[in-house]
Amino acid sequence: MAVRQIRIIGDEILNKKCKPVKEMTDRTKELIEDMFETMYEANGVGLAAPQVGILKRIVVIDVEDGYQYVLINPEIIEQDGEQTGYEGCLSVPGKTGVVTRPNHVVVRALDENMDEIEVEGEGLLARAICHECAHLDGQLYTELVEGELMDTENDEEEITEEIQKMADAYKMEADKIREAIGESGLEQMKKDMAVQKAVTVIADAAVEVEKAADAE
């Protein structure tokens, strides 16, 4: 297995329609394995083949429900309900936006053995299925965002402020703290702070929704 390069918004391949998979080959099996490896490395819950530069109708999903979903030539055959919430995308790093999706879907596809399967999903799984299947037709979630995209990444100034707080708390020089943390530690700090920022944004949005509901 290998980690592949994730294509970023602006890459024209993300706007192209993918071709159906007609047979399972060793190369396609390797692609699926690499897609999972790439997705996990990037802390994602789903990945579509065009995101790693391959125009095939393949998606992989893992929402930590005990299953690793491989959907080949997927087709959403049922959908109902509605959910509105924040989404992100590995091809749109550092951004999040509000998107409305079905709350329940049924998708028909082929698995890694080219056997026909149907997967039923609700909540996060339904959102992931819709998001990844849209990639296969050249659509990014940014086209569906309600309002504006918001930043989730932390800039260097925020990291410096956090390190200074740690230096003050431990009565040490900020440079010594940064050196002790190391590059890997700094990257983990950025990820942790980004998660916290995203959680805060989502919580604030939930409060506003609740206020609006109470006002009705």
Residue with tokens 């190391």: 182
Residue 15 has pLDDT above 80, yes or no: yes
* Residue 30, phi-psi category: left (phi > 0), alpha (psi -120 to 50), beta (remainder): alpha
pTM of the model: 0.74
pLDDT at 1: 77
Q: What is the pLDDT of residues 61-71, one digit of tens each?
A: 999 899 999 99
Question: Which segment of 34-38, 94-98, 144-148, 158-162 scores lowest on mean pLDDT?
Answer: 158-162
Mean pLDDT in residue range 8-23: 97
Q: What is the pLDDT of residues 158-172, one digit of tens each?
A: 778 888 888 888 888
Residues belonging to the active site = 132
Torsion angles phi and psi, residue 192, rounded to 5: -65, -40
CA distance 32 to 1: 9
CA-angle at 9, arms to 6 and 11, nearest 5°: 80
Of 133 and 214, which is predicted with more confidence? 133
How would residue 139 be classed by pLDDT, with cut points 50, 70 and 90? very high
Q: Where are the domains of the chain?
A: 12-149, 152-215
CATH number of the 12-149 domain: 3.90.45.10
